[in-house]
Structure 1
């Protein structure tokens, strides 16, 4: 990027320090298109999430069968993620994304037809949920790689933060509209709206200016031995800083981020707040994610120090939340926890991508997605079991303390790995292992 373009994309303050504007990535035409389409698509996605959960619960009367639908969407990410990452590094992402968004639209339309036809069979919903998970597993790494092409390395952190803001906003809007529609007309219109929302992404992809993309090196530019799934795993094993970042993300995600479980347990248990209290806490959490995205967006650099600070803050507050005497105090503590959670996610995504080779970007994004899926799948049952056997307060305190220990260990390792002289020795030890 030329110096005059950098000057336009940054604001200079006294002392010569250059600060990137909070919405700096939106100055790029391609990203404005992408962000607008993303907001529409995410709104539709959350409408469908609410619709699927409501339909399965209404049809079967079983929360466990509703949970099975969620599992079927997550499972393909674990099974196909590494192969999808290798594919994303090898081919041009735009054609793949156009096809995948059209398939998503078709699946949403099929789901609408099934429900609007009056069929009460649940197997089509399970099948479509699983197929949707397969498509998401395939296009997830391509979306991550394409995002880097749209904004370039200098704006990647800002774009990821704005993406978190878009996701939080889309979730709030989608769940709000979905709640009204599902009560008035059932789940069918929600699925139809989601199908249409994917067409906005297709339109954005077709309207972008390819000449403004930032070219990334692909695996086709690398030797044949560096193009496959095994090469991606071997590369990650030689990146100790990235491994520590992913490991910390796994612990924080598993023990400190499954608040849907602990919020419900606290509302139904010691806070005696019931469904209304759970709804209030969900709203507070959503507002916190928006605030966290704004904080991340105004940061000039998403560093490991920021990650450790946000992780330690969220973990300490999680311990405090387990001791909260009332619903309002619990909600007050939950707000900064939600904000810190978004800062953690955004920083991990930025650091993992910026600290790795461009030709490995798809496989690295796939690994990050697998870590996130594992965290949710392992953490939710674990926290649920601890909440039932020891109480939700104990679950929050123990999980928060474990996360604090994880932050301390990760901090010590990152200091060692990033200190000149020590980093070489430690990297060699990881390679030997």
Structure 2
């Protein structure tokens, strides 16, 4: 199989082609709405803190309700739940468009709709993850998740770009209306899928489908706990680059808003590259995760020493690529290493960890940048994630009876030499 065929192998499945196309449209619309909400709130209040409040309201339901969404996903058929949540998102986006077009004097209705959208995402997100795993066979799930990362990165770039161009003509309300329409692409794709080609996961029974049962499974699975703990540290100290890039641009690099925009573009390109690399791997293993985490953490620490814009941007590219490889590998292992009837709740726990990482890491890195300066913050955060990676590698090596040097150094050498994943990974 050629590299291009390996990278795109999930697209040979009819249902995944429909899912990927709909995902691109939906993600594009979602990021158009993100920009529109931020601009609407900022233009009406003049307060960046008010924009931050909307982000908190969007993430809070996942922290509070995500586990119940996972239990629901494991007990109910995924297809009707996903269809219902897509309709709900479309209705909320349409109502938000109506509010924006009425030139509201208060942002309270906007905040309420943002919170409601977060609730729908918290309840429906795990079912969406389960359904996405059912459109491809198990052996192609890692590739499908990696291609999903590429689609999400591409949709983010496209959505933000289109929103920037359309906003002066359509206003924020027009962006919200376009997002409402985008959800019908997902609905249409689901209705057009072939039921005979679905790879359905087993569902939990009445007694085993509870939140408590899901948490008990996670707590009694040491390997999964180590993965989630590592994801939390990497996500909080190594993923919130929007904060540190802004601080570096405004401070040591003296690049201003233009420099921040350039770095954001470079970061987005890196995420696409990382998704393509992950999609081309035959397997996404724990060894690959540890190797990518170590290399990315070292690069983050070194980035704080870079003297100018060009050198800093040059390191941002592999850091962004590594971040996507890490996130895709974590998502793959969390799904493939968990039983089908627990899949929704495990996905929900991963979502809670991701939301917590963003909620904790962003403010923490911002405070550290103010107190220590962005350079020292990058160096310290990178050192902390290196330490967390080594601790996780030691724990996983012990659980798998693998020597620590094979658990970390072999994957690193494999990544640097572009060796096949089977040769580059010490841990399964």
With the length of structure 1 as denominator, give the TM-score of the two structures.
0.91
User: Which of 390, 394, 398 pairs up with 1:412?
Assistant: 394
The answer to whether the 8 Å contact 1:77/1:373 transfers is yes
Give unpaired runs (5+ residues) of structure 2. 403-428
Partner of 1:101: 86
Query: Aligned partners of 2:137 and 2:210: how far apart in 1?
Result: 25
The answer to whether residue 305 in structure 2 is matched with residue 323 in structure 1 is: yes
1:29 maps onto 2:14 in alignment? yes
CA change 1:185–1:225 in 2 (3 A) is closer
Query: Is 1:209 aligned to 2:194, yes or no?
Result: yes
Question: What is the CA distance between 1:20 and its match in structure 2?
Answer: 7.0
Partner of 1:70: 55
CA deviation profile, 1:48-90 (whole Å, cap 9, x unmatched): 0000001101110000001101110100001101111000000
- Once the two structures are superposed, residues 384-416 of structure 1 have per-residue CA deviations (whole angstroms, 9 ceiling, x without a partner) of 111001100011000000000011111111111
Matches within 5 A, 1:3-152: 11=1, 21-152=6-137
Residue 378 of structure 1 is matched in structure 2 by: 360
Matches within 5 A, 1:216-231: 216-220=201-205, 224-231=206-213
Gaps of 5+ in 1: 1-10, 14-18, 421-433
Residue number among 331, 341, 352 corresponding to 2:334 in the alignment: 352
Structure-2 residue corresponding to 1:259: 241
Cα deviation 1:97-135 (Å, max 9, x = unaligned): 111101100111111111112223211110000000000
Match in the other structure for 2:183: 198
Using the alignment, how far apart are the partners of 1:401 and 1:109 within structure 2? 46
Q: CA deviation at 1:92?
A: 0.4
Residue 379 of structure 2, aligned match among 392, 397, 400: 397
TM-superposed deviation, 1:418: 1.3
Deviates more, 1:209-218 or 1:372-381: 209-218
Q: Would you say the 8 A contact 1:218–1:359 is kept in 2?
A: yes
CA distance, structure 2, for counterparts of residue 336 and residue 307 of structure 1: 15
Quick one: distance in 2 between partners of 1:59 and 1:196? 25
Retained in 2: the 8 A contact 1:84–1:366?
yes
Shift of 1:12: 8.2
Is residue 184 of structure 1 aligned with residue 169 of structure 2?
yes
1:43–1:171: 8 Å Cα contact kept in structure 2?
Answer: yes
Quick one: distance in 2 between partners of 1:54 and 1:200?
A: 25
- Are 1:274 and 2:256 counterparts? yes
Match of 2:265 among 272, 276, 283: 283
Alignment partners' CA distance in 1, 2:137 and 2:127:
15
Q: Which moved more, 1:143-152 or 1:84-93?
A: 143-152
Is residue 342 of structure 1 aligned with residue 327 of structure 2? no
Is residue 2:277 matched to residue 1:295? yes
Cα contact 1:20–1:300 (8 A) shared by 2: no
| 1:14-61 C-alpha deviation (Å, 9 max, x unpaired) | xxxxx9711000100000000000000000000000000011011100
Q: Which stretches of structure 1, 4 residues or more, deviate above 3 A after TM superposition?
A: none
Per-residue CA distance 1:343-402 (angstroms, 9 max, x = gap):
001000000111111100000000000000000000001101110011000110000000
